[in-house]
């Protein structure tokens, strides 16, 4: 549970249903996921059995409408789910976020009815884990410059290129792939595909060893003249960049919500430690410099949470694109998660580096969230361009 004085943080405007979602997911996550996370990390094991536990709770399809087998309630509730799952495990939250924001969200918005019926129920039932194949070895920020090529073939397309840092790839039943039909045209050549890795020849998946998040089994995905049929095309050729933009808009919401969960977790760990650990005959939480860190951590978490919930409410109100607010939420929340992990580690002193303590692991995991779905530099640039009127929503 959250530390009692903080248990009503930024929830004054949640509805009773949203509070109920939070309470149920928190209870589930603390009992069914948290106790196994460190074991998975040490073993470098993908937490498939933890992901399976999400299915009966309806947590694999919180953005998928009921008619496709999902449990969609509202966007704020989806954010609360991502927040609570990320509070205990990066990877479990990531599987929900990638599958729902990037993949299911894109299918719902841009897919044909046949594509919706083909993919969405399987995602909601947890039978299809999704991967988003966006980043390439040459760079992830400048997505308009992607080198993976899609060439026309009879009855479909051939994909050639490499995607890197791909979460969930080895276990995925759906790859959301962006490729270029014309590299010279940069973002105007980008085209989106829904690829079934089990039915596509010419795809190889190789390990991408990480210093942290070993339980995610990140991978490189190689496409070598891989044939995908016409019905794998999402939207129209050369119209993939707006699809990507829309996917990332929702993706940034869920990543920001995950960052709030991580920032909160740092507080949940640091507060009891500060009130137990003693130095110079006092609990360290009585020292002003430790109190300053706790105060900063609370402020950052609350600011980030408010930005995330506001963004969710904008989406629930039907505002189609909220790109500036997405960047604001993503930037502030990811930096809150990183800074809270750093302050949390300082409070734990040397023990923050010991394997026994979770706080040290949270720093690297928070840092990874500062890169994913747009780095801080990208979001700062976008916010400034919106503010200056150089860029429009």
Ligand X SMILES: Cc1cc2nc3c(=O)[nH]c(=O)nc-3n(C[C@H](O)[C@H](O)[C@H](O)COP(=O)(O)OP(=O)(O)OC[C@H]3O[C@@H](n4cnc5c(N)ncnc54)[C@H](O)[C@@H]3O)c2cc1C
Q: Closest CB to ligand X among 21 and 95?
A: 95
Nearest to residue 175, comparing CAs of 234, 236, 252? 234
Q: Where on the chain is the footprint of ligand X (CB under 6 A)? A: 131-135, 139-141, 165-167, 213, 218, 368, 371-372, 375, 377-378, 381
CB of 250 to ligand X, least distance (A): 15
Given its phi and psi angles, is residue 134 left (phi above 0), alpha (psi -120 to 50 degrees) or beta?
Answer: alpha
CB of 385 to ligand X, least distance (A): 11
Position of minimal CB gap to ligand X: 140
Q: Closest CB to ligand X among 167 and 340?
A: 167
Q: Closest CB to ligand X among 85 and 284?
A: 85
CA distance 301 to 257: 11
Q: Closest CB to ligand X among 6 and 364?
A: 364
CB of 217 to ligand X, least distance (A): 11
229 three-class SS? strand
> Is 278 tagged catalytic?
no
Query: Tokens in use for 119?
Result: 């993919």
CB of 179 to ligand X, least distance (A): 12
41, 84, 370, 373: the catalytic one is 373
Query: Tokens in use for 75?
Result: 């966007």
Nearest to residue 159, comparing CAs of 169, 170, 148? 148
Q: What angle do CA 186, 119, 259 make, to 5 degrees?
A: 65
Q: Closest CB to ligand X among 71 and 94?
A: 94
CB of 356 to ligand X, least distance (A): 23
CA distance 308 to 263: 13
CB 230 within 8 A of CB 254: no
Nearest to residue 133, comparing CAs of 95, 157, 103, 101? 103
- What is the set of active-site residues? 373
């Amino acid at each position: 549970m959250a530390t009692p004085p903080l248990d009503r943080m930024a929830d004054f405007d949640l509805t009773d249903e949203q509070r109920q979602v939070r309470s149920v997911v928190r209870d589930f996550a603390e009992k069914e996921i948290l106790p196994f996370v460190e074991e998975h990390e040490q073993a470098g094991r993908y937490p498939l059995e933890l992901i399976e536990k999400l299915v009966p709770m309806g947590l694999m399809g919180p953005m998928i409408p009921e008619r496709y087998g999902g449990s969609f309630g509202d966007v704020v509730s989806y954010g609360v789910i991502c927040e609570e799952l990320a509070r205990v495990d990066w990877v479990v939250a990531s599987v929900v976020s990638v599958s729902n924001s990037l993949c299911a969200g894109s299918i719902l918005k841009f897919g044909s009815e046949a594509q919706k019926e083909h993919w969405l129920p399987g995602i909601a039932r947890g039978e299809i884990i999704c991967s988003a194949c966006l980043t390439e070895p040459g760079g992830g920020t400048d997505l308009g410059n992607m080198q993976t090529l899609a060439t026309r073939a009879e009855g479909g397309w051939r994909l050639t290129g490499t995607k890197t840092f791909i979460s969930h790839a080895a276990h995925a039943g759906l790859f959301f792939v962006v490729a270029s039909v014309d590299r010279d045209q940069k973002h105007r050549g980008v085209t989106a595909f829904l690829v079934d890795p089990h039915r596509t020849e010419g795809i190889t998946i190789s390990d991408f060893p990480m210093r942290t998040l070993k339980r995610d089994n990140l991978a490189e995905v190689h496409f070598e003249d891989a044939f995908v049929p016409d019905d794998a095309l999402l939207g129209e050729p050369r119209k993939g960049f707006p699809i990507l933009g829309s996917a990332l808009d929702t993706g940034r919401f869920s990543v920001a919500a995950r960052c709030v969960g991580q920032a909160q977790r740092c507080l949940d760990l640091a507060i009891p430690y500060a009130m137990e650990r003693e130095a110079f005959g006092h609990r360290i939480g009585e020292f002003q410099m430790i109190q300053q860190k706790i105060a900063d951590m609370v402020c950052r978490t609350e600011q980030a949470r408010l930005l995330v919930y506001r963004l969710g409410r904008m989406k629930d109100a039907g505002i189609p694109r909220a790109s500036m607010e997405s960047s604001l939420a993503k930037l502030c929340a990811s930096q809150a998660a990183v800074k809270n992990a750093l302050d949390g580690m300082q409070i734990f002193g040397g023990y923050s580096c010991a394997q026994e303590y979770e706080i040290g692991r949270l720093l690297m995991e928070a840092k990874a969230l500062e890169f994913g779905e747009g780095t801080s530099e990208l979001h700062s640039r976008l916010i400034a361009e919106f503010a200056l009127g150089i860029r429009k929503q």
